């Protein structure tokens, strides 16, 4: 594979995903009650949740998963760049499709929980908007790599 000049699309998607995954992961993993009570579940947080080990388990687990996804995204950004990858066409396509599907899932999940008012509607709308931004970068990245590299 030759240099296919997709640096901007590749970088925009990966940086936006890293920021989203990293920030959300750090908030949920390291300050779950502060974030959950005052932002994420604002208006729906009851005092029992401060002692609810199940809620803590899921919030901290979500944070850990997001931090791990940020690290995997960083790895992919650095090591499977289509500008330099050799004989990895199918793996790169698979990676790009998985990223698009993942961001569709994130967007729909955030939209559902915002609609159901499980999370504070204002922050839910912000989450949906941010997911749409990263999803659009993921789609743009897929299109750029597919049209310029394969």
- pLDDT tens across 27-58, in order? 999 999 899 889 988 998 888 888 887 787 78
Give the CA count within 13 Å in the CB-facing half-sphere of 1.
22
Q: Do residues 135 and 100 lie in contact, with contact meaning Cβ atoms separated by under 8 Å?
A: yes
> Over the chain, what is the mean pLDDT?
88
Burial of 62 (0-12, 13-18, 19+ CB in 10 A): middle
In tens, the pLDDT along 81-137 reads 776 656 667 778 888 998 999 999 999 999 998 998 988 999 999 999 999 999 999
The confidence score (pLDDT) of residue 2 equals: 54
5, two tokens? 């000049």
DSSP 137: H
């Amino acid at each position: 594979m030759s240099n296919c000049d997709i640096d901007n699309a590749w970088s925009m998607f990966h940086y936006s995903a890293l920021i989203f995954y990293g920030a959300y992961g750090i908030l949920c993993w390291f300050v779950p009650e502060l974030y959950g009570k005052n932002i994420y579940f604002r208006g729906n947080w009851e005092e029992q949740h401060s002692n609810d080990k199940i809620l803590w388990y899921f919030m901290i687990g979500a944070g850990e998963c997001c931090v791990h996804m940020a690290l995997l995204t960083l790895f992919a950004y650095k090591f499977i760049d289509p500008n330099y990858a050799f004989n990895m066409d199918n793996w790169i396509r698979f990676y790009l499709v998985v990223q698009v599907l993942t961001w569709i899932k994130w967007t729909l999940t955030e939209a559902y929980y915002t609609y159901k008012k499980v999370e504070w509607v204002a922050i839910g709308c912000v989450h949906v908007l941010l997911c749409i931004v990263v999803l659009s970068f993921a789609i743009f990245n897929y299109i750029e790599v597919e049209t310029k590299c394969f």
